[in-house]
Structure 1
């Protein structure tokens, strides 16, 4: 009987081992036909601690990010040697570590003798003998969306926990229920914090980057239904090759689209949303403040420390921060976070005469974690629970400011050791010396800067040189060599004591141009870029307001747009177009605070000795936080370059600069100003827009460009000496930039890619408002802005433009005064 039992066990064991086929084991890999992808067991963080191996698919020869699929995200294998992937006869995939099953994938197919293959697309498939797919990894994606992969309401992308931890993170990209006509990013499967907007007429409403076709085409089947599917396919590059491309939900909550740049041998981050990581929900957890930087996204409030130090160090900030002393007492203080939005638990309202009264009330309750005070109503808001998702706002008063309760003096310790004490003593001496030197310098300069720092919170940038009026008077030889004149003052050439040549702008508006002066110093004084004019210093002595810039030997671009003036070669024009775009893109997308220039035009594009373009004159610039896409501002800029949305009175976006850039681009390629005498009596035709001896170039040029007659628009002084493909690309980009609807205009970052040929530029629709302004045709347009809640409507007929807004703002004026067209604007 015992022998029979042993025989039975042996038969069962033999049956179980022969009923499955080992596909992978140990460090072996399964390759796609051309070795583009490989399936294997990988350890993504081979550092200290126990190893964790994952069954994953990654690109064989490309750098990170190259992992496109992970099977056992919830349960890694403890070793590579004991790991194996098996395929049973019934079509079940088993990932085991010795005798323990870690992950399974089961097909509903009743067919036996299935085969497992890794396709050249990166898709792992189980095939029947007839080649029918019974299971595929594309139906269970991880964090990456590849060409050929369809997303439905049954599958979504889920981020990694960190860059080195593929376990499921808190962020997902999914089709938004109940209509499934758009994608949304979701935090913890519940909180939606960004969406693409509905798929309408072949575009996503909130993703203007996709309005211009590039590299691949989208296919949407049965939108706004539970059975909707969404996928995309690669398009061949100009060389005929298919370049790798993919979407990825990042561990920090953004969705990014990557394309492979074969010239640089690296991934190109094509676009990403939301625009700032600080707009991602739950990124920094409780009492964590977003820095806006990818490398270190979050910091703890003063006196707080990370709750999960290991996770914080690896990029997982979700658990947030807690008080370092784990307690609270009446000796706490309040940290001014400025105007911020945030999430919180509970709030109580207390009537108080001052903020100090509110602080005493909060300090009396250990559960109170912060407060705000409204001077007008005398109302305290005391917050209880956890504060999270801090996002900067703009505020004109104290009522929007949040004060968070923190330990006095920061985190409290148990005393100093000798090294710490020595460091404190040495550091104190050094700081004291620095303070003394600083005070001496401030006393010396106080006469020339009296009152300037006290008004409106303005503090000049410390890395700029402060000049006296006498120094600049000597440098410019009594302001004798005039080299330019703008709306805010005259520009003179000067030579400093170190023999360097500079340009000195003397502000001459009533009041010294104080507002423009401060905007210029606070904006350009903090940034540096090869395509931005460098501000070297300033003078604010008594009533004198002067700005000192690097000298641009070849002057302004406007000099080269005159019939009787010098001409630029095509090579220089193309470099100017790209360089200017890069400078504006830096202001919009790369500075810590987004900067809208508000006055892009040829006069403000300067050329150095090598004809490198540099954007200048930031007197009208507007700074906005990275968390906001719009900013309310009074109408500014130069007529003829001002975007149509300015007239509606609603908050503007960076797309206002894009419009001005498009207008400037037309002048650059045409070698002429946008408003001048017509080229010939017969050249105006039906679309010229001639009035009072003036002729508006953009509508005529846009129509020729759209019709494919770019050669008619190009400056005749170039003859045939220009790159036809580059000229066509620049012309099409210009028309995309001057579209009536700001949502259709590309971002400046996208403009750079379009100009450099990384993006295929399609033929844009005609800008109807411009056409209507010069021909007298009727134009009707209505737009609702979901971001601000302000809806605007506009109509143009017989030269009269009326714009209405939902918040009853009013404005009256002329739209394009250089045309000498009587276009009256009323906003009601």
Structure 2
């Protein structure tokens, strides 16, 4: 019997040791013993003491090629590593307990496995350290007790937490990875798929060795879905990748070269691309901003002071607290500043009011200490109560914030007071000396340069516009002016092309504050710099949830570029006309409604009516939740500064199938041209078919005309996209009726966009529209164009009116 037991033990030892190193009972690691460790068979991973200061050590598993710490004995509450002195030991005791003991003999950490049948420990080539019983069953493992790091082959399941200070990463039952501050404020989330509702059976995430973060669940159709990719995914067999919850609140994938030194560890993916959007990054009442591409922390104004002058991330405090204020309380106004509001706060302290009410409501409320109004057309005002307020300031943020202060508000110049640097008298003295020494030379250079500019500024050979245009002032909220060189750098030499439209090519870029943008190179712009900048300022003054936001522009020499926010889901045409891409009916209807609301804002709610002139699916962009955002609005106005009443097809590159009949009749271009184009797009949203397509299925007719005849027969199903599994029949009928009203030949018969929104929402009844006119080919100046309607009808319309008005009923 004893021989059999020995044989079994030997067999077990041999089996495990073939892929892992066995650590028998009892065994001890000592902090004072240099180079003492328990290593995996291939020596990729080792468990040992790591010296962090002259007299303190932590017990950690490291990846040896880059000396990367992937697990450590940590405090469960904060995730901070537990340190011991040079007399510390890490012992696997005869009773199966695994303990970290300080030099004084006190127990600072215990595995809670005493007398549970632990027979030995092991560390394998995947980096997992385990306590096992005689059957090889793990009673405790480092993979099941992660700290701040996840490595390949390590599952991350519901109940596990990666923690670093106040920040944590967890997985919920519906399959969402969530980043939280203090386990309460959720500021980032990544889920399996928006089409999955409810809880999954056993969701889990894993970082693969090739740098792809994958989600797995048996109930998911394919069992697995790729969620995130490192920038170097799939490259190099000797690259070690790991996922880490960093102390700054961001979740990142890192890559370490297998044959590199300890310093060659680089981030290759980040969950939060804009670091200033991490809640609490700059502490309570702290304001996050950027210096070059680095986030820095400061205070809102001189009414505040840093809690720690040596560490701006610890936040700020009022010099006079509100409860101690001897006089009146006022509201400090901060332009281009937002106080971050995430779940669960967003549902508790959100109101739809104007900027005056957003300020005054907070001032009058005893529970409000700050508020933020987001200028995106939504009208959302977020009220902040005492507890924790996290701020973000940036030149392109479309928001205004208010903070309660005691007495008169004193604003800094610049907006925030940077507390990331200490006052340094010696440095100041050195700077003063240098300035004095160089003052004469600088003055001389300035004089010479001034004379040069005076005589040279009018020269066309220089390729530069007069410097006087640099002095054009803008109101608050105006776009940022970029140099052409800055945009070249941001787009990596215009290397990543996103697409090309009638106004020019679009490229992907990243600004110094890490904001991803779309940069459009305009073609055919002949305006001077002053006129161009004024028109851009007009366009940028529009703020609406369903309009793409203009971030900035470039007007340098002959270069004319516009910088927009980047929308990851591209344009609507991809989802309508690509076989493998589609949107469900709910999303399609919301896109149709959102587009109509955006056009209503441009036509009826702006100070000056802005006519788009090129509405088509390619110019309707979708954000991450498929919210429609109209792009390229107002660009037609930039193409012809001499006469805004008439715009030629050549000047704006109008698109076949979406142009209103009055274009080639040389009639005034009104907002009803956009209504016509919108009607064609609305029909395409319902059908998933280009409105001008002709096929056997349409009996040789253009699709829009065939669709009307099918609708008259009551055959609505023939018009609806066959890829749509479920639709709201009432909404489908409303959308089809609205599309036929919008594509009427006479502009006076087409509804205003505000009426279109009401009809789509079901607020008003929709009468049966007349049939659209057949297609006629018209030749003008040697160019053949396709029009809806006929020449005689256009001529009749042209002689009857020069300024078409909308129908009284519509």
TM-score normalised by structure 2 residue count: 0.48
TM-score normalised by structure 1 residue count: 0.48
